[in-house]
Amino acid sequence: MDAILVVNAGSSSVKFQIYGLGSSDGPQRLVKGRIDGVGTLPRLRAETQDGSQLVDKSYGPREIADVPAAIAAAGDWLRSTQKFELVAVGHRVVHGGPQYDRPVIVDQDVLAQLEQYSSLAPLHQPNNLAPIRSLLALRPELVQVACFDTAFHRTHNIVADHYAIPEEFYREGVRRYGFHGLSYEYVAGRLRDVAPKDASGRVIVAHLGSGASMCALADGKSVESTMGFTALDGLPMGTRSGQIDPGVLLYLIAEKKMMPSAVEHLLYHDSGLKGISGISNDLRELESSAAPGALLALDYFVYRIGLNAGMLAAALGGLDAFVFTAGIGENSVAIRARVAEKLAWLGANFDPSANAAGNSLISQPSSPVRLYIVPTDEELMIARHTKSLLSRPSPIAVRAIA
At CA 201, angle to CA 195 and CA 206, rounded to 5? 75
Pairwise CA distance, residues 14 & 39, whole Å: 12
CA nearest neighbour of 20 among 391, 388, 390, 387: 387
> Could you give phi then psi for residue 203, rounded to 5 degrees?
-130, 135
CA distance 65 to 161: 39
- d(CA 366, CA 304) in angstroms, rounded, equals 27
Distance from C-alpha of 92 to C-alpha of 378, rounded to nearest angstrom: 8
Cα distance between residue 70 and residue 42, in whole Å: 8
Rounded CA separation 159/151 (Å): 17
Residues taking part in catalysis:
149
Q: What is the H or E stretch that residue 308 is in? A: helix 292-316
State how far the Cα of 347 lies from the Cα of 326, in Å rounded to an integer: 24
Q: Is 66 helix (H, G, I), strand (E, B) or coil?
A: coil
Beta-strand runs (E) in 149-286: 202-208, 212-218, 221-225
Helices 181-194 & 378-390 angle (0-180, nearest 10) = 90
In 101-192, beta strands by DSSP E: 104-105, 143-148
Q: What is the largest CA-CA distance in the chain?
A: 62
| 3-state SS class at 139 | coil
CA distances (Å), 123 to each of 9, 24, 264, 267, in order?
A: 11, 37, 10, 11
Note the helical H segments in 24-116.
67-81, 108-115
Question: How many Cα atoms are found within 13 Å in the side-chain-facing hemisphere of 271?
Answer: 18
